[in-house]
Amino acid sequence: MIFYMSYAASTTVFITLLLPEMRQYFFGQVGRWLYIFLFALSLSYLITPPMRWLAKRLAILDIPEARKIHERTTPLLGGVAIIIAFSAALLANMVLEREIMIILYAGGAVAVVSLIDDWKGLRARAKLVIQILAVAFLIGNGIVLNLFPEGTWWGHGLNVIFTMLWIIGITNAMNFIDGMDGLAAGLGGIISLFLAIVAFQTNQHILGWIALAMLGSCLGFLPYNFRPTRPAVIFLGDTGSIFLGFILASLAIVGEWADNNPIASFSAPVLIFWVLIFDMTYITVERILTGKVKNVKQWLEYVGKDHLHHRTYALLGDRRKAVLFIYLLSITLGLSAIALRYARPVDGILLVIQAFLITVVVSILDYSGRNR
């Protein structure tokens, strides 16, 4: 009964938002940001059940096995609902700047390949090649980090390398952390929220609207993926988690995240994405030191239960508590990014060090829980 009532309410909201008078009212009186957010939220909530039905019909399913935590066959294609809602919210509101369209093209290509992987299966190397090509497309169109002097060959080369590492690293980190109900979608929403807040702080309204479109899309999907007492009825799939990671990582490159403060501008996205950065770094270092992986091929193909959510689950003994704990960790670090608005360069460095120390403490607790 509650589902039908909420579904009817979402339908009413979405249809109301389509009315020209309501659109003008929001743009003129309330705020374009809220219109975009509600548009993405209601549409995502509405189309997730049809995506679940379609996944069942086409047998695009996640089947339980030893390396996975969930215990029953679950439809995928939740990520497709997020992609449709996110893209529709931007297109309906004419958020069509050149850089944004380029990011959407590249993200769409990566998502299509990931959809094929969800359906038929692909080698990890093939997916990585497509990701590299997608990032190369962004770089070729001027979407590149600006950490080093662009006037020199070595500066440009380092910017290109770090752009590749950042986007591919965040993209796969989001995919890797999608191992518990609600975790990737929830983190995607939290990251989007803080990107939006900092974007509005720095008067980058278009970036703020885009981040809110992603936030609404994630929140509309989350009730089906993170339920208080029952398992998820649909998963993001690689399609959703990889699209989330790719788009959000690309947005971080496009934005200027502090006024005339390069250190703070660099530190803000690092803090917002810290949980993903830390998880990817931790598992890579541990797997190399323990001899679990000895080359890039093994790293790509290795699947284990050593991620942050696995370790937190071992410590807390409850999946939902583990997910909520990681949410809180991400929110804590995101709040630090907001504090950078008027911070000195040294403050940015200190906050990044603080983030590192917080996650070291968490790692010690996780390690103790796993051994116990």
Tell which of 213, 236, 256 closes a domain. 256
Q: Is residue 235 part of a domain?
A: yes
Evaluate if residue 328 carries a pLDDT over 90.
yes
Q: What is the DSSP string of 100-153?
A: HHHHHHHHHHHHHHHHHHHHT---HHHHHHHHHHHHHHHHHTT----SS-TTSH
Q: Are residues 144 and 162 in the same domain?
A: yes
228 plus 167 within the same structural domain: yes
Predicted confidence at residue 327, as pLDDT, reads 96
pLDDT at 151: 73
- The answer to whether position 176 is within a domain reads yes
Distance CA 340, CA 351 (A): 9
| 213 in the same domain as 186 | yes
199 and 71 fall within a common domain:
yes
Looking at the structure of the chain, the number of domains it has is 2
Residues facing 74 on adjacent strands: 62
pLDDT band at 369 (very low <50, low <70, confident <90, very high): low
Residue 258's pLDDT is 61
Q: Do 186 and 49 reside in the same domain of the chain?
A: yes
Containing structural domain, residue 334: 266-372
Question: 232 and 87 in one domain?
Answer: yes
Name beta bridge partners: 61: 75
- 224 and 319 assigned to the same domain: no
Are residue 202 and residue 327 in the same domain, yes or no?
A: no
Q: Distance (Å, rounded) from C-alpha 87 to C-alpha 102?
A: 13
**Residue 173 counted as domain residue:** yes
Average pLDDT over residues 94-113: 90
Dist CA 50 CA 99 (whole Å): 31
Integer Cα distance of 177 and 173 in angstroms: 6
**What's the CA gap between 140 and 129, in Å, rounded?**
16
Using the predicted structure, report yes or no on whether residue 300 has a pLDDT greater than 90: no
pLDDT in tens, 246-263: 999 999 998 877 666 667
**Domain limit, last residue, from 215, 236, 256:** 256
- Mean of the per-residue pLDDT values of the chain: 88
Among the three residues 204, 238, 256, which one is the final residue of a domain in this structure?
Answer: 256
Q: Does residue 67 sit in the same domain as residue 22?
A: yes
Highest-pLDDT range among 214-218, 260-264, 329-333: 214-218
Residue 49 CA to residue 91 CA, distance in Å, equals 22
Examine the domain organization and report whether 202 and 281 are in the same domain.
no
Residue 67: the pLDDT is 62
pLDDT (tens digit per residue) in 141-193:
999 988 777 777 788 899 899 999 999 999 999 999 998 999 999 999 999 99
Question: 328 CB contacts (<8 Å, ≥6 apart)?
Answer: none
Is residue 261 situated within a structural domain? Answer: no
Q: What's the confidence (pLDDT) of residue 261? A: 67
Place of tokens 């598992």: 283
- pLDDT at residue 218, as a whole number: 97
**Whether residues 189 and 316 fall in one domain:** no
> 247 and 291, same structural domain?
no
CA 208 from centroid of its chain's CA atoms: 15
363's tokens: 């790692």
Query: Does residue 130 lie in a domain region?
Result: yes
Report whether pLDDT(311) > 70.
yes
| pLDDT tens-digit readout, 1-50 | 777 888 999 999 999 999 988 888 888 888 889 999 999 999 999 999 99
Residue 61 falls within a domain, yes or no?
A: yes
Rounded to the nearest 10 degrees, what angle do helices 237-254 and 124-140 cross at? 30
In a domain, 169, yes or no: yes
254 SS3 class: helix
Tell me how crowded residue 183 is: count the other CB atoms within 10 A of its CB: 26
